[in-house]
Amino acid sequence: MPTITTPDGVEIYYKDWGTGQPIVFSHGWPLSADDWDAQMMFFLQHGYRVIAHDRRGHGRSEQVSTGNDMEHWVEDLAALTAQLGLTDAVHIGHSTGGGEVARYVARYQDRVAKAVLVASLTPNMYQSEDNPAGQPAEWFEAIKDGSLNKRADFFRDVPEGPFYGFNLPGAERSEGVIANWWRQAMAGSIQAHYETPNSWLEDYTEDLRKITVPVLVMHGEADQVVPFASSVPRAVDLLQNGTQKSYPGYPHGMLTTHADVLNPDLLAFIQS
């Protein structure tokens, strides 16, 4: 398997297909690079080079007891792009990966052409006086408890319900999509999955303010994980060159459930 070794000695698995302008994908919790299959094939067929990695502790990357935090994830991504010699790249991040992309772009803009934040936790997703639409403290604790104490069952409940919106009226439930989410999640480290919600309690405001390249912010208005009002208009207001695209009725996992809509929208932004 193709891997790079980070400065602190961790092996990170990645996929690297095609030629042309590179598009780099950063996945959400608790998944892997496989969550981007629909996007990678679409952009590969449109002449782009597509790269996706498994975050440390996730998928096929090394499961280590240290560094399961945003600072290490961003530097792991930087090590990958440096080793692959990527410039003029488009970075697309989903959910937790949105925080990773925002902080990476803020630090390494000389390597970046554009960025996309999809259902991203940026600028923050916790409930506060300034962000009443965010998730309450007990929600984060429930995620950590489910990841630690009833992981196999909990990792069925999440995709069956809020992640893909299959609990909403009229939603078309997919057993295959649920099973694929569970497969990816169970391949990762329980420790990494338990510690990841700590990154959801961070604030990415200053990262967004530093970004000057064009950024597309895409979000489903029926997102039950990162509520729309908690993220989108606040993120766009902080960006120097941000554009908003919202999707009524779409869930957190809309890149999978509505890839036929989102992929052409992503292509239009990249080509614009």
Just list the catalytic residues. Answer: 95, 223, 252
Which burial class, exposed, middle or buried, applies to 61 when counting CB atoms under 10 A from its CB (0-12, 13-18, 19+)?
buried
Residue with tokens 């970046």: 112
242, two tokens? 């941000």
CB atoms under 10 Å from CB of 78, counted, come to 17
Q: Report H helices in 116-203.
A: 137-149, 151-160, 175-187, 190-195, 197-200
d(CA 244, CA 240): 12
Sorted by sequence, the CB contacts under 8 Å of residue 126 that are 6+ apart come out as 134, 135, 137, 140, 200, 201
